[in-house]
Structure 1
Amino acid sequence: MPMACQTLTQALEKLILSLCLESYPCGQGSWRKPSLREHEDLDDAALEDQFILLELLRSPQSPWQEKGSWSPQALALRELAVKTPGILKGNFKHTFFTSLRIVDMGVSVIDEGLLKFSCLEELVLSANHITQLLSENLPKTLLVLELYSNQISSLKSLKTHPPPPHLQHLGLGNNCLGSPEDIQYFTAEHWPQLKSLDLSWCGFTELYHVVEALSALPCLQSLVLVGNPLTLASSYPGIVLDSLPRLLYLDGARVTPEDRHQFRGFSQLKGTVFEEAEVTVCVQKIKGVPKPALSLEEFPVVSYSYSASYEFLDQPQSQENTNVESHILTNIHQNPPHQREGSASILCPGADFLKTSWEHHNKGLNIPVVMNSTQKQEWAEVMEFNFMRTNRFSDLTVLKNFFLRGLWLTVEEEKVVSWPAPPAEIGGTKASADKKGKESTDQNSKDKKKKKETVINLIHEAPVKQTLGSVHVELKNLMEGKHQIQVDCNLGTLHSEESVRTTVTREKEQSKKPIENKKTKPSGDTASAQRNLTPSKGKGRARKENETDPRADDNFNSITEPLTVEFSVQLSKVLCASQLSNQTTMK
C-alpha cells in the first residue's frame, strides 16, 4: 500500500534510518571488542569478531540482513559501519550515495534537502505523486533522472531553473504532459548532453512540432514515444526516423540502415496527413450459428438472417464501404451491449470481467461511438461477409482513448414471419361459382389458374431481432506499437430450439424410468424375472427410440461449435515517402 504523501528528503531519511547504522551489528556499541576501536593491530579474536558481524549482514538467513533495493550503496554503507564506524560523521552518509531508487513511496515534492546528496548520479522516482519538476533542487552531478508515472503537468519550472547540465537520461513517461508549451523546453540549452528521452504514454499529438523540437537536441540517441496519440498517425515512425538522423533507438527497437533508407524523404513533406490516422475494420466470417428449425407447415413462412455489429468512433469521414447501418450511442455510460433489452444471455466466458473493464475504461471519458453493422446474410455453416470499412481520424487523442477502452462486437439474428395476403373480393360469391364452373370445363383456364397460384403475395410482420452473443475486443496493443489486431472472437456455444426440446424430452423420460422399474419389479427366480421383463412389441419400439435419443444428443454435442467471428482492426502506416506524397496530393 502506498505511503502517505511526503517530501523526498523525509522518505530518504526514513530509509537511511532503517539501515540501523548505529545499532547491532553496526556502530561502536558494547558488542565490539576494544581492540576494534582503540588499536590498529588487530588480534585473531578481533578479526574473527569482525567477520562474524559482517556475516550477520550478508547471510540471507540473518535477521539483520538488509536487501537495500532502494540503493546499491545501502549494503556497502552498512558494511562500512562495521569495518570503520568512526567514518560515519557529518554529511558522509549523504555523499556516499550515487544511486537512489524511491518507487511508490508517496513522494510529492522534490525538496531542497536532496542537494545534500552532492555525489548523486542516478535518481529514480517512479510511481509517486510529484506534480512539478523542481530542477533547482536536483544535484548538478545527476546523470539519470526517472520520473515515470507521476502527476507532472507542466515543465514551466525549467524556464527559470535549468536542469542538471550533465543529464544523459530523462524519463517523463506516463505523466500529464503533451501541450505545445511543454515542447518548447526541449532545447540544446536545457539538455546539452541528453542521450535518452522517455516521453511514453503522455498526450503529445502534433507529430511534426514534436520532432522539430527534438531535432535540436545534439546528443539524442534513444527516444520513446509509444503510447502518445501522435504514434497513431499514418506517417509515424517515418517522420521521426528521417528527421532525427542521429537516433539509434526508437520505442526500444534498434534503428537499422534499412529503416533509414525506407523512410528517406519523409521530413521534406508537410501536411495535415501527419496528424491523421487511418483505421480499417474487417469482419470476415461467422461460424457456429445453429441451423434454425424449419416448420413442416406451409404457412407462416419464417426467414432468418444474421449480421455482425461492432462499436467504433463516430467521426464522419470518407468511407470505402457505404453499406453500413449505424446509430449513435448518445450516452457513453450506458450498459454494454450484452445488457441491453432484448439481448440474449449467452456470452463468452469472463463476461463479468469484461463488463468491469469496459466500465473502467469509460469512466470519465467522453468517447462518441456508433454501431456499425454488416449486411444481413441467410444462415450457412460458414457465413462469408468480407466486410471492410476504412476511416480516417484527425482527433488522435479521442482515438487513443477509444483504443484503451476497446469495443464490443455482437452477432444478431433477425427473424421475419410472413403470411399470405387475403384474396381480393371480385364480383361476390356468384362470380366465384361461375369461375369454378368454367375452370372445370376449360383445361387452358385450369393451367392458368395453377400458374397464378404459384405467385403468392406475402405480408411480413415486424422483424424480431435477437442478440446471439457479445464479446469485448481489446485494442490496447494498437497503442503499444502493434499495427494489427486479428482475433477469432469466441461468443460462446449456442443451441438450437430443436436440440433444447430433445434434451428436455430426454430428461423427462429418464425421470420416469425409476417408477416403471418399480412397477415391473419381478418376483421369484431369475428366469421368471427375465420373462416378466420381456417387453411387448410396442414397448420395444419405445425403448429403442429412447436408446437412440442419447446417441443423437451426444452426436449433436460433439459437432456443436462455438459461435466465432473472424475480426480484425488494422492501423495503416505509410511505408515510403512516395506513398505519403501521393496521399498529400490527393488531399
Structure 2
Amino acid sequence: MACHTLTSAIDKLVHSLCLESFPCGRGSWRKPTLQDSKDWDDEDDDEESTGAQFEELDNLCDLLRSPLSPWHQEASWSPQTLDLRELAVKAPKKINADRIYSSLTTLRVVDKGVSVIDDGLLKFRNLEQLVLTVNNIAEVPSKNLPKTLKVLELYGNQISNLESLNTELPPHLLHLGLGNNRLGSPEDLQYFAVSRWPQLMSLDLSWAGYTEQYALVDALSTLPRLRSLVLEGNPLTLTTLYPGFTLDSLDRLLYLDETRISPEDRRRYRGLAKLRASVSEEAEVIVCVKKIKGVPNSLLLNDAEAEFPLVNYSYSVSYEFFDESQSQKSVHAEDQTSQNILQRLTPVPCTSSEHQDHALSVPVAMNWTTTQAWAEEIEFNHSSTHRIRDLAALKNFFLRGLWITVEEQKVLSWPASRPESSGTKASANKKEKKASSAGTKSKVKKKKKESELELIHEQPIKQTLGSVHVKLKDLLEGKSQSEEQYDMVVKHSIRPEVSKVKKSKKSNRENKEENPTSKKGKVSKEMATDASADERKTETKTLTVEFNLRLNKWTSDSQAFDPNSTK
C-alpha cells in the first residue's frame, strides 16, 4: 500500500482554502486598488476593468467572516487560515507557497490516513504546534521535525517504540502526546532523559502498555521541568500503590491524569515512595455480591395437595473473573510459537478490533456465592479478594467486562423404599384401623414422622434466571470502584390461586354427582384443559443484583502492613 505523506495531506488542506477563487484572488469581482495598479501591468488592469460589477474589499472580507456565508470556514486545522484568506482578498499578489509555509504556526492533521512524516514538513520553518491525532504513523523521524516545534501530539497512532525519537529532537519541545499507541516496552524508558527533552513540561502516555511503575517513575524523574503527566489506561495504574507512589516520587508534578495535585494529596501520600523495596507491583481487587431482590417464588408452582416429591429451591450468584493461573499456562505454552511467528512477520498496525479480540481472549473462571433459600431479599454478603500480578492481562479483562448470573437450583426428594414383611403390613393395617376408630393423628406426630422419614435426593436441576454484563472500563480511567444495582428481566411461569383450582375440581365433582349420566372422560378433559391453561400463565419480573467491584488503593504507608486495610 502506498504511503500517505504528511505534506500531501497538508497540501490538500491548503488547496481547500481556494485562495484564488471567489471571494479571494484577482477575479473580476474585485475592485483594483492603487497598490494593485502599481503591481499589475496595464494588460491585466484592462482585463480586470472590463469585468462584472466590482465588490468592495470590506464586503469580500465579510463573506469570509460571516458564519452564514457559504465561504465561511472555521479555522479547524489551523488558526492562521483566516488570515491567509483575508490576505488573498486584500493583497492576492502576496500569496505564494513561501508565504503560506511561513504563516502557518499551527497544523492539525486529524484522521487523514497519514503514515509517513516526510522531510517536506521542514518547509514550515515557523511551525510551533503539530497535531497528528488518529492517523497511521508508526515512526516519528525526529530529523524531519522543525526545530521551532513546541507541541507535538501523536495520540491514536501506531507507534510501537521511541527509537525514532532518539536524536535531533526539537530543543524547545514543551508537550509530547503519545497516548493510545502501542507503547509499553521497558526499552523505551531509556529515551526519557533530560539530554533529549530538557524543556519538556507535559507528557501524555495514556492508554499504553506500561506495567512497571517503579522503573517508569525513575526514568521520568530525570526530566526537571515535567509538570503534567497522564498515565491513565496503563496497566500500572491498577496497582495498590498508584497514584500514591508516583505523586510521592515526582514532587514537581502539578497535574497527574489531568487532575490538579493539591497540598492535601501530597500530605496524604507522603511516605509511599519508600515502600518500593517491600511491596510488589500487583493489583488487589475486592468483589462483593451483597444481595438480590425480585426473585420469583417458585414454590407457587408446586401442587399443594401432593405430599411427594418434596421440592427445595435455592439461589446463588456467579460472576466471572480473570484467571491468572490459566493465563500463565497459556503464555508459557505459546511463548515459543509466538516468537517464531513474530520473527517472520513485519509489524502490523493494531486496530481497535484487534484490541477487542485480544481483550475477549482473556481466560476467566467462575466464582460462586453460597446458595440461599428464597426470600423477598436474599442476603449473600459474599466478598472475595483477588491479587493479580499480570497487570496487562487484568487491563484486558477490565476492557472486556464481566458477566453476573443468577441461578436457581431445584432438588426433588422422595421417600426411600424399604422392604416390609407381611407381619409388618398386618401390624400396619391394625394400626391404621385403630387410628381410624380413634380419629386422626395430631399434626405434631405427623411432622415428627415425616422428619424421621429417610429421603432420596435427586440430582439438582439448575436454571439460569438471568445474566447481566458489567462494564469495567471506568476502572482504567481513574475510578476506584464500580458499585451499582444491575437489573435483569425474568419471565416466570405461575399458577393461579390454589383456591381457584380446588374450587374448579370441587365443582366438577358436584356436577358429576348431580348428573350421573355425564361422562367421566368429559370431566377429566375439562380438568386437563384447566390445568394446561394454568400452566400457560406467566409474569415478568425485574431481578436486581447489588454488586460491587473495588480496586484497593493505599493512601498511606501503614496500609501496606495492615492486614485489615482492605476491609
Say whether residues 1:423 and 2:421 are aligned partners.
Answer: no
Note the C-alpha offset of 1:562. Answer: 1.1
Q: Deviations over 1:453-493 (max 9, x none)?
A: 65101111111100000110111100110001111110114
Say whether residues 1:191 and 2:189 are aligned partners.
Answer: no
What's 2:120 paired with?
Answer: 113
Pair 1:501–1:372, CA change in 2 (3 A): farther
Distance in 2, matches of 1:48 and 1:281, equals: 72
Pair 1:213–1:574, CA change in 2 (3 A): same
Note the C-alpha offset of 1:26. Answer: 1.6
Residue identity opposite 1:149 in structure 2: G
Mapped contact 1:9–1:113 kept (Cα < 8 A) = yes
In the TM superposition, what are the counterparts of 1:332-411 in structure 2 within 5 Å? 361-362=356-357, 365-411=360-406
Residue identity opposite 2:549 in structure 1: V
In the TM superposition, what are the counterparts of 1:489-500 in structure 2 within 5 Å? 489-498=486-495
Select the residue among 117, 128, 150 that pairs with 2:157. Answer: 150
What's 2:474 paired with?
Answer: 477
Helix, strand or coil for the counterpart of 2:286?
strand
Note the C-alpha offset of 1:561. Answer: 4.9
Distance in 2, matches of 1:502 and 1:373, equals: 39
Q: Percent of aligned positions with the same letter in both sequences?
A: 57
Say whether residues 1:574 and 2:567 are aligned partners.
Answer: no
Q: Deviations over 1:383-432 (max 9, x none)?
A: 0000001010000001000001000111000011111011233xx31454
> Which region of structure 1 is more displaced relative to structure 2, 298-307 or 84-93?
84-93
What's 1:83 paired with?
Answer: 90
Q: How many residues align?
A: 485
What's 1:538 paired with?
Answer: none
Say whether residues 1:175 and 2:181 are aligned partners.
Answer: yes
Helix, strand or coil for the counterpart of 1:128?
coil
Q: Deviations over 1:435-463 (max 9, x none)?
A: 766998999xx99x976665101111111
Mapped contact 2:31–2:57 kept (Cα < 8 A) = no
What's 2:59 paired with?
Answer: 52
What's 1:132 paired with?
Answer: 139
Note the C-alpha offset of 1:368. Answer: 1.1
Mapped contact 2:360–2:400 kept (Cα < 8 A) = no
Residue identity opposite 1:123 in structure 2: L
Say whether residues 1:226 and 2:232 are aligned partners.
Answer: yes
Say whether residues 1:68 and 2:75 are aligned partners.
Answer: yes
What's 2:324 paired with?
Answer: 315
Distance in 1, matches of 2:426 and 2:96, equals: 125
Distance in 2, matches of 1:283 and 1:434, equals: 55
What's 2:17 paired with?
Answer: 19
Distance in 1, matches of 2:434 and 2:25, equals: 128
What's 1:32 paired with?
Answer: 30
Mapped contact 2:29–2:54 kept (Cα < 8 A) = no
Pair 1:435–1:165, CA change in 2 (3 A): same
Residue identity opposite 1:562 in structure 2: T
Say whether residues 1:305 and 2:305 are aligned partners.
Answer: no
Note the C-alpha offset of 1:4. Answer: 8.9
Helix, strand or coil for the counterpart of 2:397?
helix
In the TM superposition, what are the counterparts of 1:188-587 in structure 2 within 5 Å? 188-271=194-277, 273-292=279-298, 293=300, 294-296=302-304, 297-315=306-324, 361-362=356-357, 365-425=360-420, 428-430=421-423, 432-433=425-426, 454-498=451-495, 561-580=541-560
Pair 1:145–1:435, CA change in 2 (3 A): closer
Helix, strand or coil for the counterpart of 2:492?
coil
Distance in 2, matches of 1:410 and 1:10, equals: 54
Note the C-alpha offset of 1:501. Answer: 11
What's 1:540 paired with?
Answer: none
Mapped contact 1:487–1:568 kept (Cα < 8 A) = yes
Residue identity opposite 2:464 in structure 1: T
Note the C-alpha offset of 1:265. Answer: 1.4
Residue identity opposite 2:458 in structure 1: E
Helix, strand or coil for the counterpart of 1:109?
coil
Residue identity opposite 1:564 in structure 2: T
Distance in 1, matches of 2:430 and 2:452, equals: 23
What's 1:99 paired with?
Answer: 106
Distance in 2, matches of 1:381 and 1:98, equals: 67
Q: Deviations over 1:312-353 (max 9, x none)?
A: 111359xxxxxxxxxx99xxxxxxxxxxxxxxxxxxxxxxxx
Mapped contact 1:289–1:494 kept (Cα < 8 A) = no
What's 1:517 paired with?
Answer: none
Mapped contact 1:358–1:406 kept (Cα < 8 A) = no
Mapped contact 1:5–1:129 kept (Cα < 8 A) = no
Note the C-alpha offset of 1:66. Answer: 2.1
- Any unmatched runs of 5+ in structure 1? 41-45, 318-327, 330-356, 504-545
Structure 1 length-normalised TM:
0.76
Distance in 2, matches of 1:358 and 1:61, equals: 40
Mapped contact 1:198–1:224 kept (Cα < 8 A) = yes
Note the C-alpha offset of 1:188. Answer: 0.3
Q: Deviations over 1:49-75 (max 9, x none)?
A: 111221222222323222231100011
Note the C-alpha offset of 1:85. Answer: 1.8
Mapped contact 2:481–2:549 kept (Cα < 8 A) = yes
Residue identity opposite 1:23 in structure 2: S
Pair 1:30–1:460, CA change in 2 (3 A): same
Mapped contact 1:205–1:229 kept (Cα < 8 A) = yes
Pair 1:371–1:362, CA change in 2 (3 A): farther
Mapped contact 2:150–2:174 kept (Cα < 8 A) = yes
Select the residue among 137, 145, 148 that pairs with 1:141. Answer: 148
Mapped contact 1:404–1:476 kept (Cα < 8 A) = yes
Distance in 1, matches of 2:353 and 2:8, equals: 39
Helix, strand or coil for the counterpart of 1:371?
strand
Mapped contact 1:234–1:573 kept (Cα < 8 A) = yes
Residue identity opposite 2:178 in structure 1: L
Distance in 1, matches of 2:208 and 2:123, equals: 32
Distance in 2, matches of 1:64 and 1:441, equals: 109
Helix, strand or coil for the counterpart of 1:91?
helix
What's 2:7 paired with?
Answer: 9
Q: Deviations over 1:169-199 (max 9, x none)?
A: 0100000001001111011011100000000
Query: Where in structure 1 do 4 or more consecutive aligned residues deviate above 6 Å?
Result: 357-360, 438-443, 500-503
Q: Deviations over 1:333-376 (max 9, x none)?
A: xxxxxxxxxxxxxxxxxxxxxxxx99994456431101111110
Residue identity opposite 1:38 in structure 2: S
Mapped contact 1:307–1:376 kept (Cα < 8 A) = yes
Mapped contact 1:421–1:458 kept (Cα < 8 A) = yes
